[in-house]
Amino acid sequence: MCGIAGVFSLDGQSVAAAEPIVAAINGSQRRRGPDGEGIWRAPGGDAVFGHRRLAIIDTRAEGAQPMRDATGRWTIVFNGEIYNYRALCRELENAGRRFETKSDTEVLINCIAEWGEAGLSRLIGMYAFALYDGLKRELWLARDPFGVKPLYYAIENGRLWFASQARALARAAPVDAKTDNAAAAGFFLHGYVPEPLTWWRGVRALSPGCSWRLRCGEAPAQAQAFFSLSALFAQAAPQPMQAQDLRAVLTESVQRHFVSDVPVGIFLSSGVDSIAIAALARDAACNFSTITLAFDDYRGERADEAPLAEAAADALGVRHDTVRLSQDDFLASIDDYFDQMDQPSTDGLNVFLVSRAAARAGLKVALSGLGGDELFGGYPSFADAPRIAALGRAMPLRAPLGAMAGRFGAPLARLFGLNHKTPYLLRYAGDIERAYFLRRCLRVFEELDATQWADGLARLKQEQTPEPPPSDISPHAQVAFLEMTRYMRNQPLRDADWASMAHSLELRVPFLDVALLRALAPAIISSAPPRKADLAAAAGPLAVAAWQRGKTGFATPVDRWIGGAEPGLMPWADRVAARFGVARTRAG
């Protein structure tokens, strides 16, 4: 896991003089990789690459980046891990490829050199990389199918800039760093900035599952998708999965995520997802420790996950750390939290805090249960979105009634204390995608139409056109598709990346494994999709007990601290309010 940066010439002019700028971008990402840094310049001046290293696989100096292959033709900067790199290495060696390191980075280079774009479909892992082909004077950019690893770019004055963090480009590269009103509108709708937009007008995100080949001196072609969740669901034949088969594919994924030359930990809560990962890892004889974050304010309450997590770790027989935070601990870290936040988000605090605790415990790699809710229907949206859609289909005169309610219902909703989205229920009912948006959004489009963000909203509708779910699959599968391509991609995954890397911690997500998804796809689109109960049963008695207790979710007592006795978080809240030019009002 690392940070990458660079510049590539699109107009044929040398970019060698931009090396100090690449170094500055690289430096702004230093917490992503404290174990080393490197800068490389193409002999002809077509490209400059930068890299910050967090050494996980082949921690020797030979594993450092930027890395060239044995032929000298290919040079790469790579962020992520290829979990099946050993099997790929054997296959490539049989094909005549030579290796000088024991790293997955060199295997990745040779995958592309040997198989081209087809090599991307052989990879199992999380990755974002830039690869320079010195023979063809080409730049390859690629990002993994789920978008676990980020990759941002900007095109200005005949140059393409790229980095692992959007903020790094906005701060150090000569790009348009004005706030994008379309991105701001997206943030007020969702609580996150939807891809491919970023908070900065000139910076964009490469879409997950895409590769982009650019040639020096030529206008950029379009990025090409090498993976499509829609195509995977559309091509799969519906088939429920037997319990023993589910356990087998889950265990294989968990085992893959333990490929490492440094110790691995697991974020352990009282929930079924993390306990399932830990139980499967223990049964597979993986070596790991666990860590739980808890808060002093919750001690003795149901929100305190520590006792149940400690009991689970004890039953598994693994070393466990519980790290408890007080209000003072939180206050000491909150400014750093906002400083490290790559783009505005209403989430990420939990990952930031537990990653800090893990790093202080000496870990460089940790596994998380992120993705379990999306694969196994753990969110309320799996029931609510189909219900809302069905309501609209059953309602006569839905369109005129919905328009009338949207126009006149908002004042009545405020008057009677109803949820602000209630007046728009009929307008967004009728199909799964619109119903899902209503269930997930913080604000509906109509609520922004009359605000200062109206212009940005209009452009958002034009530029942000995510792929719709296949219409011929079940409502459950459509919601799974939407959760993975909307909310998960734009918030939990993005926040997990910057929040963990802020503490030089590599966060791995065994549920978001492309081989696992391919195995589960026929079951997800079947009439009996796997649910949380099936996940628990596959993982064993500890996970079953966690599922039977019910979902609690990770909570922080921030609301309690803000609303408590002065001064608490009030001075901090005042500073945040002043930063955005608004006044804080007191309740009560």
d(CA 96, CA 359): 40
- Give the chain's domains with CATH numbers: 2-227 (3.60.20.10), 238-377+480-555 (3.40.50.620), 382-468 (no CATH), 557-588 (no CATH)
**How far apart, in Å, are the Cα atoms of 516 and each of 160, 257, 285?**
34, 12, 20
pLDDT computed for residue 584 by the predictor? 52
Q: With the C-alpha atoms ordered 25, 29, 34, 35, is the resulting torsion angle positive or negative?
A: negative
pLDDT computed for residue 331 by the predictor? 86
d(CA 485, CA 467): 8
Residues forming a β-bridge with 323: 293
172, 175, 181, 183: CA torsion to nearest 10: -70
Region label for 72, one of left (φ > 0), alpha (ψ between -120 and 50) or beta (otherwise): left
| Residue type at 41 in one-letter notation | R
pLDDT computed for residue 588 by the predictor? 34
pLDDT along the chain (588 residues), means of 10: 94 96 97 96 96 94 93 96 97 94 96 96 98 97 98 97 97 95 94 96 97 94 95 95 97 97 95 96 95 90 88 96 90 91 93 95 96 96 94 69 63 70 80 94 84 84 86 95 97 97 98 98 97 96 90 72 62 63 46
d(CA 388, CA 425): 8
Q: With the C-alpha atoms ordered 23, 24, 27, 29, is the resulting torsion angle positive or negative?
A: negative
| DSSP 8-class letter at 320 | E
pLDDT computed for residue 102 by the predictor? 93
pLDDT computed for residue 460 by the predictor? 92
For residue 224, give the 3-state DSSP assignment. strand
Pairing of strands 74-82, 125-133: antiparallel
How do the residues of the chain divide into helix, strand and coil, expressed in percent and rounded to 5?
A: 45, 15, 35
**How far apart, in Å, are the Cα atoms of 564 and each of 346, 558, 582?**
21, 10, 22
Query: Which residues have a Cβ under 8 Å from the Cβ of 416 and sit 6 or more positions away?
Result: none
